[in-house]
Amino acid sequence: MGVLTIGSNSKEVQINEEIRDKEIRVIDNDGTQLGVMLTKDALKLAEEKEFDLVKIAPQAEPPVCKIMDYGKYVFEQSKREKEARKNQKVVEIKEIRMFSTIDTNDFNTKVNQAIKFLKSGDKLKVSVRFRKRAIAHPHLGEELLEKFKEACAEAGTVEKPCKMEGRALVMFVSPKASK
């Protein structure tokens, strides 16, 4: 056998004959400590029990090895990693675009969509674009974003206040922590 990598963390684990240390601290498969012994004696003990000798703490002095079923150990590690990946949520940044001359019903639709995004745990980038000569009146966009912030207050909080980016006024909103 060679040095095997477990899962995505590519942690190298030495097993059986790969363990080159003279003396090691040995733990039995049921968790009882057998003490410090020569590597060849520990290997013989593991073979008698039909298990593998796995180095679990190479940085310790002397290194710690455990007698265990290595195949079962690798399977359980990969199962734990899959479970951890399944439970994590990737936060996306959703964008809501509006124009400075948006109508009331369109505004309400955008607010409802934003609340839906925030409740599902996503962050929002709210931008107000200015067409043609409307760029001369940025206060209209600031008022619109202030109104938007108040409408979404129960679902999210402003992460970054509004600022101009090119021809758009941009504000970032993050979801409120769920209780």
Q: What angle do CA 12, 7, 14 make, to 5 degrees?
A: 20
Peptide bond into 58 cis (omega under 30): no
Report pLDDT for 50: 86
Give yes or no for a contact between 96 and 126, defined as CB atoms under 8 angstroms apart. yes
* Helix 104-119, helix 138-151: angle, nearest 10: 50
Residue ranges of the chain whose pLDDT lies below 70: 1-11, 178-179
On the CB side of 2, CA atoms within 13 Å amount to 3
Helix (H, G, I), strand (E, B) or coil at 51: coil
The confidence score (pLDDT) of residue 179 equals 46
Domain with CATH 3.10.20.80 in the chain: 4-87
Specify the CATH number of the domain 4-87: 3.10.20.80
Residues of the chain with CATH 3.30.110.10: 93-175
Question: Nearest-CA neighbor of 20 among 68, 69, 53?
Answer: 53
Distance of CA 171 to the CA centre of its chain: 25
- Report the CATH number of the 93-175 domain: 3.30.110.10
Task: Report phi then psi at 3, rounded to 5.
Answer: -75, 125
SS3 letters across 54-116 = EEEECCCCCCEEEEECHHHHHHHHHHHHHHHHHHCCCCCEEEEEEECCCCHHHHHHHHHHHHH
State the Cα–Cα distance between residues 161 and 159, nearest whole angstrom. Answer: 7
pLDDT of residue 109: 92
Amino acid at 150: E
- State the pLDDT at residue 105: 92
Question: Minimal CA–CA distance to 126: which of 177, 166, 163, 178?
Answer: 163
φ/ψ (deg, to 5) at 172: -110, 135
The pLDDT value recorded for residue 10 is 41
